[in-house]
Amino acid sequence: MRTKAFTLIELLVVVSIITLLIAILLPALSAAREKAIVVTCLSRLRQVSTASTMYAMDNKQTFPDRGSKYTYLPHRIVVGSIDLNKTFFLPYLQDRNRMAFCPGKVNEVRGPDVHVNYVKNYITYQYFNNRSSSWASARNSWLADPPDITTVLARGTLPLWGCLTVEKQLTGAWLSHDVPEVDILPEGMNATCVDGSAQWYPLPSLESYWVTTIDNYYWPRSDY
């Protein structure tokens, strides 16, 4: 008995249905993937925040030292003799190369082509631990008297670590969790607080906390 073959029209209908299903599923799959990256990033930041508290317990309640208040960037971890690779990331997190970098699109621009010492000196997370009340004025910030986040005694809702979120004032490009240095507004950032809490902060809940002549850095808005 001969089996009836599909007609051309029937094949075209099947192909059309498959194409339609793919078109419907791809955005959902992409959204799920982005959500998974956000969750991975948040988990990573929680571990970094927990390690910071562990460090503080071993060092008179003081979070890892950032170095001179006049020379560091929020994502710079080597300043002069201060090297957080050696004093914090390796002793308390072991896998520094993974833990110090946001897994979002910001990681696409990580590498020596961005800065000659990017891998060693810079990371794609921000560390908000300031050293004194002169921290902001020394950096031309609108925030004249920023909160002290150097110890575990700081107010618990103050941000401690977060995704690098910076607006390039010369080009209008953004560098953030979901934007790899292009002229597109980011959706937001992950951040942890002194009390160990961690969450995703949408862009409207962020504020500029440090303005330089070329960069505008953001963190979660907080009552000071």
Q: What is the residue-wise DSSP string for 10-44?
A: HHHHHHHHHHHHHHHHHHHHHHHHHHHHHHHHHHH
Asked whether residue 2 is domain-assigned, the answer is: no
Question: Is residue 135 situated within a structural domain?
Answer: yes
Given a cut of 80, whether residue 224 has pLDDT beyond it is no
Residue-wise pLDDT for 174-205, tens only, equals: 989 888 888 889 999 999 999 999 999 999 99
Residue bearing the bigger pLDDT, 75 or 93? 93
The per-residue pLDDT for 113 is 44
Express each pLDDT in 35-63 by its tens digit.
888 899 999 999 999 999 999 999 999 99
- Inter-CA distances, 146 with 14, 68, 126, 133, 152, Å: 62, 16, 16, 6, 16
Do 66 and 72 contact (CB within 8 A), yes or no? yes
Q: Which domain holds residue 127?
A: 13-220
Least confident window among 109-118, 170-179, 197-206: 109-118
Phi (first) and psi of residue 47, to 5 degrees: -65, -40
Residue 177 located in a structural domain: yes
65-71 mean pLDDT = 65
Indicate whether 178 belongs to any domain: yes
Domain membership of residue 67 (yes or no) is yes
Arithmetic mean of pLDDT, 114-131 = 72
Pairing of strands 82-83, 125-127: unpaired
Domain count for the chain, please give it: 1
pLDDT score of 114 more than 70: no
End-to-end CA distance of the chain: give it in Å, rounded.
Answer: 83
Q: Is residue 4 part of a domain?
A: no
pLDDT at 29 over 80: no
Residue 29 lies in a domain: yes
140 and 130 Cβ atoms separated by less than 8 Å = no
Task: Identify the burial level of 168 via C-beta atoms within 10 angstroms of its C-beta, where 0-12 means exposed, 13-18 middle and 19 or more buried.
Answer: middle
* Nearest one of 125, 165, 136, 115 to 69, comparing CA atoms: 136
**Confidence band for 135, pLDDT divided at 50, 70 and 90:** very low
